[in-house]
Chains A and B, each alone.
Chain A
Amino acid sequence: MVLTGVTSKAIRKGDAEPPLSKGSFRVYNMRFCPWAERAMLYVAAKGIEAEVVNLNVTDKLEWYWTKHYQGKAPAVEHNGKVVIESGFIPEYLDDAFPETRILPTDPYEKVQQKLLADRLTAVAHAVPLLFAVMRDRTLKDEKQRKVFEVLKQAENLLANDFYAGSQPGYPDYLSFPFFEKIWWSASLDGVVDLPTIEFPGEEEYPKLTKWFQKMISSDVVQSVTQSLEHGAAFMNAYATHQELNYDLGL
């Protein structure tokens, strides 16, 4: 295991900044956050030895504002440098750790994978629609129709086993967390008519279903993600504005 602290308790306001020894690499994470998960997946896929610090982002740490001006996860820190934003961290990691490069070096191939990941952010924008249904079940039919459209587009964009080709790559790692949030939603009653077994459904989304099974069962994903039960419970609490337990399941 190259990641330590994945299941550590979240630190919060009043907690001191843990010392980071020279040469060490740290990821500031929130266990259930899909944006932070992008960074976690990329670090794991690249095999970077990293210490994970989980954050309570409701009760924000004072010192963390110097790392991220909005106090959000993710951030990566090493050699005195901090990089934020899940849309920028992955490529930075490929530049800084080129021996385990995931993005292609060819400029055209690289840009096409980045553009594909960009198009797949439609999946990220579908997740809040399901939050709305968690708050008000009468919205289900209206909201899930849009979710299904997004999944159909994602199915159509999947030309191979993975978005990056024959192996998972940049667009796979950057979009997976949001498919997973839809999967978590599917396990809650009355939110979205999608199966949790063989998600999102072999009949409507054959390629995507195979892709999701491969991704969820991979070592990379399993080394950073949370269980369906805990993920769904946390997400439901978040969507319905309840108190959040950042250490759920620990």
Chain B
Amino acid sequence: MSVLSGLNTKVVKNGDPAPAPPASGTIRIYNMRYCPWAQRALIFASLKKIPTEVINIHLDQKPDWFFTKHYKGQVPALEHDEGKKIVIESAVIPEYLDDIYPEPRIIPTDHYEKVQQKLLLDRISGQLSSAFYGVVQAAKISDLLKEKLVELAKAYDTAEELLTGDFYSGTSKPGFVDYLIYPNIQRAFWTSHIIKDFPLKVESFPGPNYPKLSKWYKRLDSIPEVIATSQPTETAVEFFKSWIIGAPNFDYGL
């Protein structure tokens, strides 16, 4: 039983009325079902079993009222305490949730271990996501695409190298870094179905060049609390096709 209600509801857009404040004891996450940054917040809420109401936002036709939740109109945004508290930024919300809902704690409490996890996330995530979005933007320009695919392979080489155990947490269970980079890697999995000559392979993703990462991905992909935040592959691939050509269908599959 997922604690996320409203995950698979249609997006709200410009002209739609502002929602009432979230009920006491419930948090609200403003989301877009295929957004990897927003999924970070959903994963933490799911793991912590926090009763959560999800509202999906149309990212090209944002409601005016949404800019009172995030000054740039981006997802995710977290709203709670009956609307009195709003927190934004996908790497900040998980930390905040760990502070206000400490069971189960996901980020290490030891100060040094905690900062090392943040540094590791910064190092891997920045490289993976910028390389991935570089590929997506170049997808229509074949000259540039080749170069961007090389950068993507390099980013995954680094991710493979920095994975020294089963998980980036350095323990026998996934942790902060694992949960926060998983969504972007899943997006690359979806895209591997679409772009020709993609260096990451669909079969046993990301493929034989990344043996540790392949095992890691399979493990993360089978966690119920992560699955509860995710979208089926076939639906996601179709959304990504629409997004890559510049006409995203935010309600695809609903």
Interface residues of A (CB under 8 A from B): 81, 83-85, 87-88, 91-92, 95-96, 107-108, 110-112, 114-115, 118-119
* Cα A115 to Cα B88 with chains together (Å): 8
**Is A108 touching B89 in the complex (CB atoms < 8 A)?**
no
* Cα A95 to Cα B115 with chains together (Å): 10
Does B219 sit within 8 A of A, measured CB to CB? no
* Cα A88 to Cα B119 with chains together (Å): 8
- A84-B119, A85-B122 known; A115 and B100 CB under 8 Å? no
* Cα A98 to Cα B164 with chains together (Å): 32
- Using Cβ atoms and an 8 Å threshold, which residues of chain B touch A83? 112, 115-116, 119
Q: A111-B92, A118-B92 are in contact. List 6 more A-B contacts (CB 8 A).
A: A83-B112, A83-B119, A108-B96, A111-B87, A115-B88, A115-B92
A94: min CB distance to chain B, Å: 9
Does B64 sit within 8 A of A, measured CB to CB? no
- Using Cβ atoms and an 8 Å threshold, which residues of chain A touch B112? 81, 83, 92, 96
Contact of B115 among A92, A110, A114, A115 (CB under 8 A): A92
Interface Cβ pair total, 8 Å cutoff = 45
Contact of B89 among A88, A91, A118 (CB under 8 A): A118
- Using Cβ atoms and an 8 Å threshold, which residues of chain B touch A95? 111, 114-115
**Is A107 touching B96 in the complex (CB atoms < 8 A)?**
yes
- Using Cβ atoms and an 8 Å threshold, which residues of chain B touch A108? 85, 87, 96, 100
Residue on B nearest A70 in the bound complex, by CB: B123
Residue on A nearest B72 in the bound complex, by CB: A119
**Is A111 touching B96 in the complex (CB atoms < 8 A)?**
yes
* Cα A108 to Cα B118 with chains together (Å): 19
* Cα A95 to Cα B85 with chains together (Å): 24
7 closest pairs, A vs B, by CB?
A107-B99, A95-B111, A92-B115, A111-B96, A96-B111, A107-B100, A81-B112
* Cα A219 to Cα B100 with chains together (Å): 36
* Chain A CB within 10 Å, residue with most, of B85, B115, B122: B115
B108: min CB distance to chain A, Å: 11
- Using Cβ atoms and an 8 Å threshold, which residues of chain B touch A115? 87-89, 92
- A108-B87, A115-B88, A118-B89 known; A88 and B115 CB under 8 Å? yes
**Is A111 touching B95 in the complex (CB atoms < 8 A)?**
yes
- Using Cβ atoms and an 8 Å threshold, which residues of chain B touch A96? 111-112
**Is A88 touching B118 in the complex (CB atoms < 8 A)?**
yes
Residue on A nearest B112 in the bound complex, by CB: A81
- B 67-90 contacts with A by CB, 8 A: 71, 85, 87-89
- Using Cβ atoms and an 8 Å threshold, which residues of chain A touch B85? 108
Residue on B nearest A95 in the bound complex, by CB: B111
* Cα A81 to Cα B116 with chains together (Å): 10
* Cα A95 to Cα B118 with chains together (Å): 14
A-B contact pairs, 28 of them (CB 8 A): A81-B112, A83-B115, A83-B119, A85-B119, A87-B122, A88-B118, A88-B119, A91-B115, A92-B112, A92-B115, A95-B111, A95-B114, A96-B111, A96-B112, A107-B96, A107-B100, A108-B87, A108-B96, A111-B95, A111-B99, A112-B87, A114-B92, A115-B87, A115-B88, A115-B89, A115-B92, A118-B89, A118-B92
- Using Cβ atoms and an 8 Å threshold, which residues of chain B touch A107? 96, 99-100
Residue on A nearest B101 in the bound complex, by CB: A107
- B 39-71 contacts with A by CB, 8 A: 71
B110-141 CB mask vs A (1 if < 8 Å, else 0) is 01101110110010000000000000000000
Residue on B nearest A108 in the bound complex, by CB: B85
- Using Cβ atoms and an 8 Å threshold, which residues of chain B touch A111? 87, 92, 95-96, 99
- Using Cβ atoms and an 8 Å threshold, which residues of chain B touch A88? 115, 118-119, 122
B97-112 CB mask vs A (1 if < 8 Å, else 0) is 0011000000000011
- Using Cβ atoms and an 8 Å threshold, which residues of chain A touch B88? 115
* Cα A114 to Cα B122 with chains together (Å): 16
B130: min CB distance to chain A, Å: 16
* Cα A112 to Cα B111 with chains together (Å): 20
